[in-house]
A and B are shown apart, each in its own frame.
Chain A
């Protein structure tokens, strides 16, 4: 998407599609649109609910219960930087299988190094490891990981049609080694990344040979996130035994399982039990990890803002909709709230405007010294004022984000992203986020909701604090950071801030080069380079997820 022109607002198209009035009109008509029947989705839902109620013999969902829906003109939602329009219902994470698959693909990924097992094989077991043996192992592990048996002869296995998405690939910064390994099992950094990003990644990864393990989606759904590394560990161990002809009961074999379980990289860190979920669940994903999953800046390297916005979109879907939408809400969840950050090109307009501003007035990306607080606040004030002014100048935009929390997130995200891009430092961006929140409250006399406001009004003080329970570099904060544990609606914007800092710096990764490469893999079901497009395809019911059970259901 081209940078926002000063006379052409990026949200105009969506506003005109939503409302028949001009986006600047302050008045409209209500109570005259036919209620929920103006929504195709609601009509479909009611028909379906009626059939279910008839079949089961007692009532089900009924759109006529509760507040009359559809008193306003029913708004479609444009997935930002796409031409896809859907209804809000289509973006509920229960209804959208692309959102589900995004989370499935994250959860079912575990990164397991091969260096340690190879040392065990060579030094302890006295067997040679060569590119040929590695390729043979990879063929074996691509049999075991989906649920194939190799050691005992009378074993139950998983139906391949249910676990088609399961596989193992490898990558390394060692080009010579990678050249020797069977290409079918390689995530090729040189081919997938622009040259400068590839060079950075290979330098960071070094000679380590890393496996990107994808356990079956259905396993992650049936068991849980913590199970993923266990499933991987068993199947990796079996593959080693089979491909290197090892003794199944030998104590050295335990080293393989140990390294796979405990020296591997899960996508999510451990969460406290009170947060409902266990290890490797969405609340444990640090922002830096989520940033590295998003691949837009790999595919569109000349448009760093796009990568930032896609990170916000993924954060909204995974953190705010899937995780906090269940943990804090359930039912209708936080769909309406979270999707504001990735629909209708509103955040897009604000961020591209900020990019122009940084280039025109603040020395370009990373042109501002991070310790120049006065300049940082000046930029923050300017960006935040623009965002808030757009809501005031364009009532259609205000009504699109009809919840104050939506506006607060989007304005603060813009301001935070701008601060991070101007300095190249995520914590400077975070500081701008809190400036936005305080100014927003002061200007409009309102902000979000009780809990929301609490964190935002004390956040300035922890934006640079490095005391353990008050501050962390933004790259390693996440929903697990104490003040963010129930910070719904914020997590999307927060995630965008470290991405903005590193995208502006031209960094190939934010926190973890291994995760960055693992999610460049074209074999993933969800395309992490086109997040909003994928969610839009989910909304249009065009997205095909993995792990469906139709192969074992008659009919």
Chain B
């Protein structure tokens, strides 16, 4: 029997392809900006740049771990080795053609990273991880193509806005105005951290992409973009899941491949 080859996601349309790309750990995502690690740390607000990581337990090597086959099997990530706290970064993704949406984030994180705990809601997606590993992930996610300065928000609390109309500069609504439009540079500037504490310095996350570009890159199916029903394979896949689950709970003896 041939080894199973992961397909990641069905479909032929651009949102389906984007979903596959984001999930496939072999695909290197494009970096569109370079926000410094210190600035990423500032926006997250869990520690000051240069400050030591706080720990919740001694380094694993110093402690006495109980005899456990799973511990032998799973190599700890760096933060776990050092006993780091688990901290978070949370992104809000606009419905208006944000590059990625919450479920795709969860699928992407779980497909690409170890040691993550994700939570998915309609507008936002939180990822929790040991702090030093989180910072590496956070920088990747802010720098790469899944982030758009106008349509992706970094928000710890008061996260709504994903379904609100865009402002006159094309920015997603944020009740705390953590980011603002710099009209001179045509860039988006963070002025508050994730939980809306003012930053000591303004942090640019760069220029938003054009709506035309975003429509080509997004993972979101929309009637005014690519309609899911125009992707026959994705539609069939959804119907199949529903049908098989229905039959499985009702007449499992009649379940046959569809």
Contact = CB atoms under 8 A, between A and B. Distances in A.
A268 interface: no
Contacts of A439: 228, 238, 242
Interface in A467-504: 470-471
13 contacts: A30-B164, A30-B167, A31-B177, A373-B243, A398-B95, A434-B246, A446-B103, A450-B119, A450-B120, A460-B246, A460-B249, A461-B246, A464-B246
A72 interface: yes
Interface of A: 21, 25-31, 67-68, 71-72, 373, 377, 381, 385, 388-389, 391-393, 395-396, 398-399, 401-405, 407-408, 431, 434-435, 438-439, 441-450, 453, 458, 460-465, 470-471
Interface string B103-123: 110000000000000011111
B101 A27 contact: no
B4 interface: no
A452 to B, nearest CB: 9
Contact of B164 (A31, A389, A402): A402
B223 interface: yes
A167 B123 CA distance: 50
Contacts of A25: 165
Contacts of B123: 403-404, 446
Interface stretch (B26-34, B201-209, B214-222): B214-222
Given A404-B163, A444-B95, A71 B101 contact: no
Contacts of A391: 95, 163
Contacts of A445: 93, 100-104, 219-220
A395 B96 CA distance: 9
Contacts of B245: 434, 458, 460-461
A486 B71 CA distance: 35
B246 A431 contact: yes
B249 A461 contact: yes
A438 B246 CA distance: 12
A403 B250 contact: no
B168 A29 contact: yes
B120 A402 contact: no
Given A67-B175, A72-B173, A404-B121, A441 B246 contact: no
B229 interface: yes
B191 interface: no
Nearest to B164: A399
Contact of B243 (A71, A377, A395, A401): A377
Given A393-B223, A438-B242, 4 more contacts: A67-B175, A67-B196, A398-B95, A450-B120
Contact of A27 (B121, B170, B238, B239): B170
A441 B158 CA distance: 23
Nearest to B10: A442
Contacts of A28: 165-168
A387 to B, nearest CB: 11
Contacts of A463: 246, 249-250
A185 to B, nearest CB: 48
Nearest to A31: B177
Interface residues of B, number: 51
Q: Which 3 A-B pairs have the closest CB atoms?
A: A404-B122, A445-B101, A461-B249
B2 interface: no
Nearest to B244: A460
B51 interface: no
A150 to B, nearest CB: 56
Nearest to B100: A445
A348 to B, nearest CB: 20
Contacts of B96: 26
Given A438-B238, A443-B221, A27 B122 contact: no
A21 B123 CA distance: 23
B122 A403 contact: yes
B101 to A, nearest CB: 3
A408 B248 CA distance: 24
B160 interface: yes
Given A434-B242, A442-B234, A460-B242, A29 B249 contact: no
B224 interface: yes
A444 B164 contact: no
A399 to B, nearest CB: 5
A377 B242 CA distance: 9
Interface in B153-199: 158, 160-168, 170, 173, 175-177, 196
Contacts of B243: 373, 377
Interface centre among B103, B227, B242, B250 (most CB of A within 10 A): B242
Nearest to A336: B160
Nearest to B171: A30
B241 interface: yes
Nearest to A395: B165
A68 B220 CA distance: 30
B121 A373 contact: no
Contact of A448 (B100, B101, B122, B170): B122
Contacts of A385: 227-229
